[in-house]
Amino acid sequence: MHAKKLLAAVAVTATVALGIAGCAPSGDGSDGDVVTLTYWSGFTGGDRQAYEDLIQKFNDEHENIQIDYQLQPWDSIAQKLPTAIAAGSGPDLATPDYNVATIQQYASNGLALPLDDLIGDGDTQVGEGILPETVTDSFSLDGKLYAAPANYATLLLYYNKDLLDAAGVEVPTTMEELQAAAVTLSDGNGQYGFAIPDNATIPNWPVLIWADGGDLIQDGCSALGSDATVGTVETWAGLIRDDKISPIGATGQEAQDLFAAGKTAFQINGPWAAGAFTEAGINFDVAPVPVGASGSPVTLASTVPTIVSATTKHPKEAQEFLAWWLSKETQAQLSTAAAYAPSRTDMADDPAITSNPTVAAFAAEVPNARLYLPTEMDFSKIDVDIFTPAIQSATQNGNAAEALAAADGQLNELLGC
């Protein structure tokens, strides 16, 4: 009787233990000559097919390296990746975050592999100076490169051709023209001229501020209190509050939905939105972001970094994949499929880019594009606790000067100025 009960209890414990063990991620694959690399990717959005097709192409072209492409939501990756890498059981490749500054965290904590083999003249390497400087600067720490760009997007001004034509408004080329056009195209009753999101979005407000010569951080200290920054925010906040050109407190998705519903004439967005707007049947086009008081064209660059795990067993093969990803052929296909600008600076005249007007438009802005808080380790705190509340206060309460002065103080304290 003892033995049976003991056996039964042990059997149940063993089953449970096996069950728990089964939940652990499987180790890397090295089946004979074929190296399998696991790649955790966050590209679950409308452009995911473009990425999946390219991964398939890589797998077809490479007999000895295969990519196991695993899609996951961004916050899922953020929660699991650091501990997985530290434990040696993580993927070989990963897109840790769509925020560029996260790379600084990964690099300084020894979680990302320095990509020493990526840049060079070899067949499976990317030439020196091919990647945009903004990208290599923000992906580097202490002179070593820790990530490669999975994509490179710029923002353009989307406009609804029907709404502009009906009101007889020309496509604006300066910020003043955009402001006037936005007022004309708003009716104060749910029809907006220019929907500007301020949270959970690809940054819009920084673009408006940069256009007028302002900034968030300049020379390592806060520029939030500068005349240019305050003036710009005051102007736009006034238009939003008084002329109702935009809803207040909108998220990026809400602003995008408004454009897709034909309820806003202008929207600043990236190439990923084009598909959604086409599907929604909007008669739209894109134009460069209008030039502001600074006199120079400027827009936002957005790039998603791909890292190689510091604990990968196949560093060479992983970097070979990254070099393939950054090759002209791959970048041309990615640009055509998803309207991203190529991540290379030597493809401006490439027929694949120039033949597609939307792609060409986004690619043309690459020299004018800036990254948002690319090297600040505290970028999340700056964005969530300091910058966004100041903007929201300016639009909700109309106190731009006060709110920005307070934010200026907080940011300087954080930066140690």
Partner 1 sequence: MTTITAARRARPRTQLRAGLLFLLPSAVLIGVFVIYPIANSLWMSLHDWTFFQTTHEFVGPANYLELLGDPRFWNALGNTAVFTLATVPAQIILGLLLAVRLSRARWWTSLMRSVFFFPVISSFATMAIVWKFVLSADVGPTAAWLRGAGIQPIDWLHTPNLALGAIIMVGLWKNIGFTMVILIAALQDVPESLNEAAVLDGAGPWGRFRNVTLPSIRQALLFASIIAVIASLQVFDQVYVMTGGGPLFRTETLVTYMYEQGFGQYRSGYAAAIAWALFLLIAIVSAFQLRIFRYRDVD
Nearer Cβ to partner 1, position 111 or 323? 111
Nearer Cβ to partner 1, position 60 or 142? 142
Run of H or E residues at 401:
helix 400-415
- DSSP bridge pairs for 37: 67
Nearer Cβ to partner 1, position 203 or 288? 203
Closest approach of Cβ 332 to partner 1, in Å? 35
Closest approach of Cβ 319 to partner 1, in Å? 22
Closest approach of Cβ 83 to partner 1, in Å? 8
Backbone φ and ψ of 254, nearest 5°: -65, -45
Residues that bind partner 1 (CB under 8 A): 1-2, 5-6, 8-10, 12-13, 15-17, 20, 75, 78-79, 82, 86, 105-106, 108-111, 189-190, 199-200, 247-251, 254, 257-258, 261, 263, 380-381, 384-385, 389, 392-393, 396
Separation of alpha carbons 324 and 307, rounded Å: 14
Closest approach of Cβ 199 to partner 1, in Å? 6
Nearer Cβ to partner 1, position 72 or 105? 105
Nearer Cβ to partner 1, position 25 or 249? 249
Please report how the helices 227-242 and 400-415 are oriented relative to each other, as an axis angle in degrees rounded to 10: 140
Closest approach of Cβ 105 to partner 1, in Å? 5
Q: Which two tokens stand for residue 1?
A: 């009787």
Separation of alpha carbons 384 and 386, rounded Å: 6
Closest approach of Cβ 266 to partner 1, in Å? 15
Nearer Cβ to partner 1, position 58 or 106? 106
Q: Coil, strand, or helix at residue 100?
A: coil
DSSP characters over 287-344: EPPPB-TTSS--EEEEEEEEEEBTT-S-HHHHHHHHHHHTSHHHHHHHHHHH-PBPS-
Which alpha helices (H) appear in 1-47, and where do they start and end? 2-23
